[in-house]
Amino acid sequence: MQASSHRRLLTLCATALLLTVPLLRAAETPAGEHPSIKRPYNLAPPVDLAYSIKAKQRGISLNGTASVQWRSADGKYSVSTESRLSLLGKILENRSEGTVDEFGLAPLLFYEKRFRKEPSHTSFKRDVKTITFSESDDSYPIKGGEQDRTSIQWQLAAQARATPEKFKPGSEWVYFVAGRRDAEVWRFKVLKNEAVQIGADEVQAVHLVKAPPPDAQGQQVDLWLAPAMDWMPVRVRFNDDDGDFVDQTLEKAVRK
């Protein structure tokens, strides 16, 4: 019974962790707002990244690992991610793939497979300029510059690489971001430069934050991009208003 109860608790915690990460809400925006902003960009070189995960969900502390593969060549890109928890194995798999256009990354497909769930697909149908979802009947127009929840970090990195002087405290970066079943505006604000511990080393990183909606439940998302490491995401933290969090920190980067 103790082993069975322990497995049920781990499953509950894994489910809570999964529900924390995908259900991000954007800041409130005027009705109909759908930003389409063309900015300079410079894609990061191919790399494999390994992260450690520390989390607290429903009062339970969790540890795990995540891996990210970023590739870009011949006018195409792909980002593949996997997250694993101790004793449970793989709990989350994301993939974004597409082309590169005048706005930067131009996703064609966003794929997500969650623990004990069927995979979902978000399609960017560029021939008819429409975003559609396998998990809902919603659709949104493609105006240019739209991202998904996996590509957005690398779009930010590409634009920071092209214009690092613009990523200064107080600056804001707005995108239209698609998830598993809908799309919404994400608004990032640059806070300041901070040190992030990567293994035995320390690196300076630009700290950006996406705040939850005012007067509404939601998550704050903190993102740290390291200029000395091609502006790669070296840390990502999701904070709930009840104190729960998921904190992902880079441990190793291998260029390809």
The pLDDT value given to residue 245:
83
Q: What is the dihedral of CA 22, 135, 78, 125, to 10 degrees?
A: -130
**Which tens digits make up the pLDDT trace of 13-43?**
554 455 444 433 333 334 458 999 999 999 9
For residues 131 and 124, is the Cβ–Cβ distance under 8 A? Answer: yes
State which residues of the chain have pLDDT below 70: 1-32, 212-219
Assigned token pair, 158: 């590409």
Is the Cβ–Cβ distance between 56 and 244 less than 8 Å? yes
pLDDT the model gives residue 219: 67
> Domains in the chain, ordered, with CATH?
2-255 (2.40.360)
The pLDDT value given to residue 116: 84
Which pTM was predicted?
A: 0.87
Residue 81: both structure tokens together: 């991610």
How does the average pLDDT of the chain come out, rounded? 86
Distance between CA 226 and CA 197 in Å, rounded? 11
Q: Spell out the residues 6+ positions from residue 195 whose beta carbon is closer than 8 angstroms to its own.
A: 202, 203, 204, 205
